Amino acid sequence: MFHLAWRNLLQSRTQFFLGVGGVALALLLMLSLDALLVGSEQDLVAYIYQSGADIFVAQEGVRNLHMAASAISMQDMRRAARTEGVASASPILYTTGVVETEQADVLSYIIGFDPREPLGGPQVIVAGTAQLGRGEAIIDNAVARSQGVELGDEIEILGETFTVVGLTEGLTNIINSVTFIHIDDFRALRRGDSISYALLAVEPGYDPAEVAAAIEARNEDVTALPREVFAREERQIVKDMSVEVIYIMNMAGLLIGLAVTALTLYTSTLRKRQEYGVLKAMGAKNRHLYSVVVVQAFLSLTMGSAVAIGLVWLMGSILPLVVPGTAMALTQAGVVRVLTAALGIGVVAALVPAWQMARLDPAQVFRS
Amino acid sequence: MEKLCALCVSVVKMEEWMEPVMVVEHVTRRFGSGETEVVAVRDVSLAVEPGEIVLIMGPSGSGKTTLLLMLGGLLRPSEGRIRIGEDDLTELDERRLPEVRLRRIGFIFQDFNLFSSLSALDNVALVVQLTGLSRRAARRRARQLLEELGMGHRLNFLPEKLSGGEKQRVAIARALVNEPDIILADEPTANLDSRRGHETMRLLRRIAKEGMRSVIIVSHDERIKDIADRVLWLEDGSFKNEVEMATDPVCGMSVDRERAPAQVVYDGRTLYFCAPGCRDEFLANPKQFL
């Protein structure tokens, strides 16, 4: 039956390519969305990992950066720094703002850091310097490329003019970018003494989770989270915000895949109705005929899936070159999710043709 | 004495063989009910011997196809019984019927009905695979049969690349490959030219006589009378006068006794010939043919 299904599938090349192409397109939609989301999640937490902090101390209840406003005092930071196991503590100021260039406005996390402090500033500099002074800024290379900004150019941040003195890398994602200014400039703009977050490094041999718990135990006004937890919270909040869109797009992909696969199988069965009738007349049981439909569905979906995975992989290599800041990460979990969806598509799509097969009257062969 | 015993055995075997392969008893098939009821087949009875070729003829709408469907286990009669050996098709469970069709009945269709995406070899092998044999074993058996039927050089051709006669050979191989007791052929020569039609008829006769397989043919084609042992005329769902056939002693063709172009009374027996040429050949040297 496998051979018959295979030959039937290949007999009409146009239909074969349309079928496999349609499935591939639907799965591509689902898989690329998934890969984009995962890629974005990885990029979104790039600063958290690049900052060098083992623990993030924030206002009580604040557990991430995105869409969050945190204010703690310098005293809170110093108290945290005195906790056993803390090697160093660096303050940063943070807000979400717009970087205005000559070409366009770019949404960005604005980080105010102290260049004299070990943590909080850019760790990867591809041009210029990390030692910025007052009135200076460091932006990401991807933004600089896309907006035509060069070292020495002027940009506007939070309504003030800054000169670009350094370029970072890997801090632009599909949503925004990260821009650094001097902490004193930020403080002047904000007109206050508080800081947003305290970034702590932990001494060797200490567990960041235990140190963070100790900090919270000493000061009820702050939330202290190890880097991994802070990053996970950041990812989750972004995922929660985009999950509806992703869900709708995935449903659209699922429905397209279902429609294409079902239609391909249906027309293929309809086209071969007479032959299946002959097979039934000659003694084939329904299970023989079902297996033809199932094998055809399986083959279409396997090939469609392979094409989709290949295309996403290709897109993942090309897209960041074409659209700076976009990243696609094809994960095992994503592939398993999409293949499970493909399997679901196959099962549902095979139902109608299988039902047709079961109802097929072999006597029709003699009446035609 | 030894010769006598051998003969006895032979007679016993012949008697065993002569048990009808298919027995049809008072079969009726109705469609619809009340005022719209149509009786397609009415009280038909028939017994088919091993190796016998039965031709069922009749006008369109006479019930030929309905009868063939019932004989093939594809349609249940309203009344009566149909047996193939020990299997009663009218009593068998729907789940068992495919098995009987697969192993005991071979079908030959009017339009050949080959699977267009499969090669000649795979067309035949597929039917063997339905019995549970592996693809390799099925292909081996199919290859052997196709070679016997002179199709060895066209094994890997798709049906669209085969001539009508070749397609019919593949269809015949497909009907034969599971070694059924009975072959049901629906207008087997309808789509063939005269020469290929004759070839097919000769092939069917050879299959019936050498393999002792019963062949039931439904056809309008008068030429098939030449190979039939019995011709039945179906009209309004019932068999009318049965046509008696005789075998031409010269060429071996079956001849309708009533319509034989030539006949001779020889040694007290009436012999029938398909053509005056055969009669003349016989008369030139009768002992050669008796």
Q: Quote ipTM for the complex.
A: 0.74
Q: How far apart are the first and last CA of chain B?
A: 26
Q: Which sequence spans correspond to the domains of chain B?
A: 2-241, 255-290
Verify whether the Cβ–Cβ distance A281 to B115 is below 8 Å: no
Q: Write out chain A's pLDDT in tens, 368 residues.
A: 788 888 887 877 887 887 788 788 888 887 887 787 777 777 888 899 988 999 999 999 999 988 888 999 999 999 999 999 999 999 999 999 999 998 888 889 999 999 999 999 998 899 999 889 999 999 999 899 889 999 999 999 988 999 999 999 888 877 788 999 999 999 998 877 899 999 999 999 999 999 999 999 999 999 999 999 999 998 888 777 766 776 787 778 778 777 877 777 777 777 777 888 888 888 888 888 888 888 888 888 888 888 988 888 888 888 877 776 677 778 888 788 778 877 887 778 777 877 877 777 777 766 65
CATH fold group of domain B2-241: Rossmann fold (3.40.50)
Distance from CA of B203 to the nearest CA of A (A): 21
Distance from CA of A1 to the nearest CA of B (A): 8
How far is residue B125's CA from residue B141's CA, in Å, rounded to a whole number? Answer: 7
How many inter-chain contacts (A to B, CB under 8 Å) are there?
Answer: 70
A280 touches B at CB < 8 Å: yes
Instruction: Locate the chain B residue with the closest alpha carbon to A367.
Output: B65
Q: Which sequence spans correspond to the domains of chain A?
A: 2-44+242-367, 73-220
How far is residue B104's CA from residue B114's CA, in Å, rounded to a whole number? Answer: 20
A359 touches B at CB < 8 Å: no
Residues from B in contact with A at Cβ < 8 Å? 65, 68-69, 72, 74-75, 95, 98-103, 105, 107, 109-111, 113, 115-118, 122, 126-127, 129-130, 135, 174, 186
Classify residue A284 by its DSSP letter. -
Q: Which amino acid is at A76?
A: D
Distance from CA of A23 to the nearest CA of B (A): 23
A278 touches B at CB < 8 Å: yes
Of B75, B95, B126, Cβ closest to residue A363: B75
